[in-house]
Structures are given as C-alpha cells and as structure tokens.
Amino acid sequence: MKTFQASKAIQRLPDQYFAKLEKSILALKDKGHDVINLAQGSPDQPTPKHIIESLQEAAEEPRYHKYSPFQGFRFLKEAAAEYYKQHYDVDLDPDEEVCVLFGGKGGLVEVSECLLDEGDVALVPDPGYPDYWSGVALANAKMEMMPLRAENDFLPRYNEISEEAKEKAKLLFLNYPNNPTGAVADQSFFEETVDFAHANDICAVHDFAYGAISFEGKQHDSFLQVPGAKETGIEIYTLSKTYNMAGWRVGFAAGNRSVIRMLNTIQDHMYVSLFGAVQKAAADALTGSQANVDHLIDMYEGRRNVLMEKAREIGWNGEAPKGSFFAWFPCPEGMTSDTFANKLLEEAHVAVAPGRGFGEYGEGYVRLGLVNDEATIAKALDRIAKLNLFR
C-alpha cells in the first residue's frame, strides 16, 4: 500500500514520550502482572451524578440535536463568568472575554497557532506539560525553555531570559498549580508576570487546569485576579479535573479580548462548537452545588498524606505537593529518571512517569499521580520499599 509523505507541520510534532511507557505497562499486564499505575494523570472518580443527570435531560431536548452556535451557547459563557466572579471576584464579559474550548488541551495548542509565526519564540516552562510544545511546533515557532528549579519553588526566573529571547517572544506559558511538580504560585508572582509580559509585549497564557485542587484549606490564586492580567493574557480552565469530566472534553479560555477573538476564529474554521447537552451540563457544573468538589479535595488530600507518610517510612524524601494531584519525587542517587522508572515497573510492577518526559530540568525526578485510592497508593509504596533503594 502506498505511504504518503506527512506535512512538515506533522513531522515537526514531538514524539509522545509517554506512549512507550504505556506500551510497557500494557505488556506487563498482558503477561498477567498486577501493575499499579502511578504514572497516569486522568481522574479515577466518576462525574458527579447531578451533572450526568443534567446531560441526560438536555440530551432529550431537540434544540440540542441541531448544530450548536459556532462559538458556544451564551449560557455556558455566562456560567464561566459567574464561576470566576464567585470564586475569584473576577469580572468577565461573557461575549468578549470567554471562549468555549474542546477541553483545555485544545486551547493550549490553538493559542500558539493564533499568536506565533515562523521564527517567533514561546517561553515554555521546563519541566512542563508536553502539549505546550505541540502547538509551538505546528506554528513552526521556537521554544525558549524556562527552568523550574526546586530552589526557586519551581517558579521561572524572568531575569534569566536572554534579551534576544525576550525580543522575539510572543507567548509565555505558565501552569499553577503545576504539572508535574505540584508547586503553586501566588499573587506576587503573577504581578511580576504581568509586569514582565507588559514590558516585553508578550501574551501570558496561564494553564489553570488544577485550579480547584488545593490542600490545607487554601484556595489557589487565579492569574486574572491580578490588575492588568486581562490586558496581558488569558487563563485556560478545564472542567476535567474539578468535576471529573476528563472524557467530556469541555473547558474555556478567559481574559484578553483580542486573544479570545482569535481562539473563536480558529475554532470557527475547525468545529461547530460542542454538543449542546454537554454545554448545558457544564454550565450546571459551574453554577450548581460545589459539594462534590469539596469532597474531591478532601479525597486527594487524604491520598497525598498517605503517599507522604509511606514515602517517609522508606526514606524517600519528596516534598508534599501544594496543589494538583501530582507529587514530584527525586530519583535515588546515581539513577536517571528513565532507569529508575524502568526498575520500578519491571521489579516492583509500579509505574511512575519519568521526569525527563517533561523537559531537560525534569531529569532526576519522577511524577506520581494521586489518582488511585489510599490503599493502592500504600501498596505501591510497600512494593517500592522492598527494592531497598533509599537506605
């Protein structure tokens, strides 16, 4: 059969680093091994019942069986604005400052295509979410990596960015609470970001996917809470983590009007918006009872505490995440992240995500997900303990 040549844009896309890990996990499972997967980043809990019921009721309505409005139903954009007002005291114009997205991931890729031309630069966190790289590659732009180091609480240092990179940069990606490190950012950092973006004519894109997942009773700051944020960038929010709606593929972007228009324009050419019943259920999730979210936070905090307690028992000295459902743990001395992850998978049948997959500065770490119950997390650490790697 004839093989066609892929476009240069497709050829530029980075390899899916974790696809190889997934194949290794499946191969062990096919041999009958019980593999505990701490590498995954997909919520393990079902979508709350009242959201499912909203979808079921809306699916019966004929008006949702037709094409949705190109840029989404206004009621979903109003719900997003209401959510931001209630939780962050941020005022958003539903018509001009909110864009409905097919999941946060889609928006994170599309924004590069909206703002970057060939030769432009995007400032990207390292370690960071690999799909930032994908949009930059499709736009045929370049990446300037911003190291996230433990000694700076995994925040980038803008004074380390070269003058050349600042001059060419059009886009800045941030993500707090952070995947993969579990670090958080406060208002003072976001104020610094607004000043930096304004001074260098850069659009800041804050990936707020884990915004609702906080610990010890603290609420995470939204980038848009900082004065000037809407003038210098956008925030991308997904319902995937907050409401266990990962498979529903629904989120939104909020903030700078010109960027929202661009996102709407590119999506006008790609989609005719989301199924209306999904939009109705998403709006009800945002504006309805948040009791399930409170329960979810308590659950993740309990899992985090079990992980940290068991890790201390075996001498594995990681830092407790301050947000997200990920923990970022160092590898044993003398082992790379790939070597360590392979050893855990082959000998303990525990899968973790090698830090190298998130960038150069991820080397020396592995990411552990809190998307298994407490007993399973404890069991995984007991298996790792038997390898005697930390004493």
* pLDDT recorded at residue 160: 96
**Distance (Å, rounded) from C-alpha 129 to C-alpha 109?**
11
**pLDDT at residue 371 in the model:** 94
pLDDT value, residue 206? 98
- Decide: helix, strand or coil at residue 227: coil
| Alpha carbon distances (Å) from 108 to 183, 209, 215, 226 | 20, 11, 26, 21
Calculate the alpha carbon distances from 216 to 87, 297, 320, 321, 322 in Å: 17, 10, 12, 11, 9
Q: How many CA atoms lie within 13 A of 236 on its CB side?
A: 27
Inter-helix orientation angle 276-287/49-59, to 10°: 150
Three-state secondary structure of 108-121: HHHHHHHHCCCCCE
Sign of CA dihedral 250, 120, 158, 160: positive
Partner residues linked to 214 by β-bridges: 323
pTM: 0.95
Ranges of CATH 3.90.1150.10 domains, the chain: 8-46+292-385
Question: If DSSP codes are grouped into helix, strand and coil, which group holds residue 107?
Answer: helix
From 19, 128, 185, select the one nearest 361 (Cα to Cα). 128
Question: What does the pLDDT read at residue 204?
Answer: 98
**Token code pair at residue 93:** 């114009």
Domain with CATH 3.40.640.10 in the chain: 50-287
The span from the first CA to the last CA of the chain, in angstroms, equals 56
- Contact call for residues 300 and 370 (beta carbons, < 8 A): yes
Query: What pLDDT score was predicted for residue 216?
Result: 87
Superfamily for 8-46+292-385?
Aspartate Aminotransferase, domain 1 (3.90.1150.10)
Q: How many CB atoms lie within 10 A of CB 383?
A: 16
d(CA 182, CA 322): 6
50-287 maps to CATH 3.40.640.10? yes
Q: What is the per-residue pLDDT for 52?
A: 97
- State whether the Cα torsion 225-227-228-232 is positive or negative: negative
pLDDT at position 20 is 78
10-residue stretch averages of pLDDT, the chain, 391 residues long: 91 82 83 89 93 97 93 96 97 98 94 96 96 93 97 97 95 97 96 98 97 92 96 97 95 98 95 93 97 96 97 93 95 95 94 95 96 96 94 71
- List Cβ neighbours of 133 (8 Å cut-off, separation of 6 or more): 14, 124, 143
pLDDT of 14 reads 86
Q: Per the structure block, which two tokens stand in for 88?
A: 């962050």
